[in-house]
Amino acid sequence: MTLRLRNLLVIGVLCTVFFPLIFPLIAPTFKSGNIANQAIVTSPQQSSLDSGNTHSSKSIITQRAPMSAPSPITNYTITASLQDTNHIVTGQTNITYVNHADVAFSELYFHLYPNAFLPDGRMEIFAVLYSSQQLDYTISGIDDTILEVDLVGGFGPGLLSPGGIVTLTLDWQVEVPYSQDRFGWFNRTDPFEFLGYNLGNWHPIVAVYDDRGWDTKPYSHMGESFYSDVATYNVTITVPDDYIIAATGELQAVIPGTSTQDWHFLTGPVRDFTWCASPDFETDSILAQGVNVTSYFVAAHSSGGARVLEVAEQCLEIFGALFGPYPWESLAIVEADIWAGGMEYPQLVMIGLPLYPNPSGISSLAYVTAHEIGHEWIPFTVGTDSYAEPWIDEGFASFTEYAWVEYVYGSETRAQYRQVDLNRYWQYVEAEGDKILNKSMDYWQTSDWYAYGRIVYAKAALVYDMLRHQLGNQTFYDAWNYIYAEAIHQNLRTHSLQELFEEATSESLDWFFDRWVHNNGVVTLSIGAYSIQANASGWSINFQIQQHQLPTVRLRVPIRINFGAQIIELWVWINPQPLTTHTIFVSAFPLQLELDPNRLLLCQYHYDKVMFFFAPGSPIPLAIGGAVGAAVIIAAVVIYRKRRSS
């Protein structure tokens, strides 16, 4: 036998014997890491990474909400008159205020939001009366937006004790600015005529008193700053006789006068009263989930006017089931010439005129309508401080867009829709770094629109969605129904929202809120060491998930195991340690393991997938070594025989 043939035989033996022994030496080895869990999967099967992310995840069953509210409740009786020749609203407010705090008041504070539009818009207070006697008052705050009424001096009623009630009369006048805004008037002539008034935050409204004292925060043009308690409203508005009014509450009557009409509205417990008026409104209405929904639009946009009714009908059904039933009898959707896409108020949402020409599908008109309707749940049914903590309501409303898309268009479309927010968020993080979610408008107004939109809207919605995955679909929505029932007509802050989630789920959520709401920075994960071992019933997959950031976090991480023709998808916990070790038992040999394949977490990944062909403990190296070795030996024998025969 020649030297070359002997070499072939030696190589064949070495491949057969040593290849499966040498390969594990170059594979990753396990370091010490705390064990999180061991999962048993008896057989590979097709499954969903989020078993709740389907149409059947939460059945759509709606019911009317209870109308519970503080009793007795503050009441506003307002008479107002619009003069469209000089764009002035004159008014008188009789407010019967109930002190629901546990301290006595020597003064009451009101917001005068129209003064934020100086010099073009303003509010003048002519008198503040108690029993027909003038009270002392001062106007202060940023842009003169705070009215402080003295209750103890002069002709005042004296200290207002806890549970006490006082009735005051305010005479006032508002100059409405020419502005494409939630407060303003407009007059388009091309390509169609559209004259209208948007009267958001237009009357003196009493401030909230909470554990921080009186809320005297300023008006925010960039976001919302409208923090208010629930009250009932009895409002009569006089307008020219060719005007149509859309408003909060239920229309009681339209009483004709001489070239004018009086529109009379009553409300249940609501956080404010808002109205829009125009001589150019067309209307269309439907009854959806027992709610009278009316669309107000210009004739040129009748298709858009009809489309928002379709979206409203879907939202009332979907949101009512997922979060809690819509509590009021009516909802107005108003086409408005505003610079923003939309604006929310109790029982009334304004939708920007530029969105109406493209009404079909998941258009801006449709998803903005869904977003603004989502606000009816937060911050209007369940209240929040939208100046101090805007993430709660804007993130929630953005999340309701996901829910609307999912139940109307399916879970795959939902994932694509969510991906847009995910891209916007990561683009911002790459350019500017991450931002803490729970910041006030004081902070965002010193930043920029870019940060506000990417964090308060996109990141907040994604954080809500991540909490849904952490808790599980059913648990998450059951918790929202619990929050709704417990906090209807109350005001929540971030800490009380967390407390209600914890009550509903019977678990502490510090690990989630501390990291994703109160802190910032990117969590980065990777697969560390891994191996596979045969056992009596199949295979055990051993792997580690490594965290690269400080501090480390506790988190539930989705993984996908690919068996070729089939896959399994499940969740594993990582502990707040650099390494967490997992063992998963399966009945068939797996091909690949991948972390978070659908990017459901706000995490980045260094090394997110591994192949098990050559993992330590895999039979593949042995098979390959044996096959190669056998082939080399056979080749050597064949060559040797040919040479002998010749």
Tens digit of pLDDT for each residue in 432-449?
999 999 999 999 988 777
| Residue-wise pLDDT tens digits, 302-320 | 999 999 999 999 999 999 9
User: Nearest 5 degrees, angle CA 351-CA 192-CA 239?
Assistant: 65
DSSP letter for 55, please.
Answer: G
| Strands of 555-562's sheet in order across | 567-574, 555-562, 592-595, 609-611
Using omega within 30 degrees of 0 as the cis cutoff, is the peptide bond preceding 191 cis?
yes
* Contact status, residue 424 vs residue 458, Cβ threshold 8 Å: yes
CB atoms within 10 A of CB 178: 12
Rounded-to-integer distance, Cα 481 and Cα 500, Å: 11
Averaged pLDDT, 574-598: 95
CA-to-CA dists, residue 284 to 200, 333, 537, angstroms: 22, 10, 65
Averaged pLDDT, 210-226: 94
| pLDDT above 50 for 47 | no
Residue 554 backbone zone (phi > 0: left; psi -120 to 50: alpha; other: beta): beta
Give the pairing of strands 232-240 and 75-83.
parallel
For the chain, what is the radius of gyration of the CA atoms?
32
Rounded-to-integer distance, Cα 115 and Cα 438, Å: 28
* Contact status, residue 470 vs residue 573, Cβ threshold 8 Å: no
* Residue type at position 545: I
Provide the angle, in degrees to the nearest 10, between the axes of the packed helices 473-487 and 460-471: 110
pLDDT of residue 57: 42
Token pair of 389, please?
């903590």
Q: What are phi and psi of 622, to 5 degrees?
A: -60, -45
pTM, whole model, 2 decimals?
A: 0.89
Q: What's the pLDDT band for 68 if we cut at 50, 70, 90?
A: low
- Comparing CA positions, the residue from 347, 358, 264, 272 lying closest to residue 308 is 358
* Residue type at position 392: I
Rounded-to-integer distance, Cα 29 and Cα 617, Å: 12
- Comparing CA positions, the residue from 386, 425, 421 lying closest to residue 401 is 421
Task: Determine which helix (DSSP H) or strand (DSSP E) holds 491, and give its type and residue range.
Answer: strand 491-492
Say what percent of the chain tops pLDDT 70: 85
- Chain position carrying tokens 């002069």: 154
Cα–chain center distance at 4: 72
Rounded-to-integer distance, Cα 198 and Cα 421, Å: 30
Query: Is 414 in a helix, a strand, or coil?
Result: helix
Token pair of 562, please?
């690919």
- Chain position carrying tokens 């020219």: 240
pLDDT of residue 617: 77
> Positive or negative, the Cα torsion across 504, 508, 514, 518?
positive
- Chain position carrying tokens 């858009």: 304
- 41, 47, 50, 51 alpha-carbon torsion, rounded to 10°: -90
Token pair of 216, please?
């005297």
The 3-class secondary structure across 286-336, one letter per residue, is EEECCEEEEEEECHHHHHHHHHHHHHHHHHHHHHHHHCCCCCCCEEEEEEE
pLDDT of residue 102: 96
- Comparing CA positions, the residue from 231, 164, 241, 240 lying closest to residue 203 is 231
Token pair of 8, please?
């072939």
pLDDT of residue 63: 42
Q: What's the pLDDT band for 262 if we cut at 50, 70, 90?
A: very high
Rounded-to-integer distance, Cα 428 and Cα 434, Å: 8
Q: What's the pLDDT band for 616 if we cut at 50, 70, 90?
A: confident
> Which residues make beta-bridge pairs with 471?
none
DSSP letter for 442, please.
Answer: H
User: Nearest 5 degrees, angle CA 28-CA 34-CA 37?
Assistant: 95
What is the chain's mean pLDDT, rounded? Answer: 90
Q: Say if residue 114 is exposed, middle or buried (CB neighbours under 10 Å; 0-12, 13-18, 19+).
A: buried
* Residue type at position 22: I
| Residue-wise pLDDT tens digits, 440-499 | 999 998 877 789 999 999 999 999 999 999 999 999 999 999 999 999 999 999 999 999
Query: Is 63 in a helix, a strand, or coil?
Result: coil
Rounded-to-integer distance, Cα 410 and Cα 398, Å: 17
| pLDDT above 90 for 238 | yes
Token pair of 369, please?
């309508």
pLDDT of residue 59: 42
Rounded-to-integer distance, Cα 600 and Cα 261, Å: 54
> Which residues make beta-bridge pairs with 105?
160
| pLDDT above 80 for 40 | no
- 398, 383, 287, 351 alpha-carbon torsion, rounded to 10°: -50
Q: 15 or 525: whose pLDDT is higher?
A: 525
- 211, 212, 215, 217 alpha-carbon torsion, rounded to 10°: -150
Using omega within 30 degrees of 0 as the cis cutoff, is the peptide bond preceding 157 cis?
no
Cα–chain center distance at 626: 57
Rounded-to-integer distance, Cα 279 and Cα 82, Å: 13
Cα–chain center distance at 110: 30
Cα–chain center distance at 513: 15
Widest CA span in the chain = 130
- Chain position carrying tokens 């019933």: 537
Total residue length of the chain: 646
Rounded-to-integer distance, Cα 559 and Cα 546, Å: 14
Rounded-to-integer distance, Cα 362 and Cα 421, Å: 15
Rounded-to-integer distance, Cα 130 and Cα 533, Å: 84
- 140, 144, 145, 150 alpha-carbon torsion, rounded to 10°: 30
| Residue-wise pLDDT tens digits, 72-128 | 999 999 999 999 999 999 999 999 999 999 999 999 999 999 999 999 999 999 999
Averaged pLDDT, 541-547: 96
